[in-house]
Amino acid sequence: MSNPRYTPEFKDEAVKQVIVRGHSVAEVSERLGVSTHSLYKWINAVKPDNSEQQEQDLIEAKRGPDRGPDRGQALVWT
């Protein structure tokens, strides 16, 4: 028994139901008869990769407001 193949149009519509219309992954996967794992993979495939921005945000959050220079600033000792 093989896994079913879904058309790109089917995947797009499933992803839109989660991202645009705000339905939960569990609800959409149950209604369409696909696994939540597949639906999460389709959603992640269309999301922009912002891992570099998230990493920079995490570094800045850990540094705190008074813990060193902002991006692009050099320390100047007087």
pLDDT value of position 34: 96
Of residues 51, 31, 1, the one with CA closest to residue 13 = 31
Report field, pTM of the whole predicted structure over 0.85: no
pLDDT value of position 37: 96
**How far from chain centre, in Å, is Cα 10?**
20
Fold topology of 1-48: Arc Repressor Mutant, subunit A (1.10.10)
pLDDT digits (tens, 9 = 90+) for 39-78: 999 999 988 776 777 777 778 777 766 555 555 555 555 4
Q: What are phi and psi of 25, to 5 degrees?
A: -60, -45
- Domain ranges, ordered by start, for the chain: 1-48
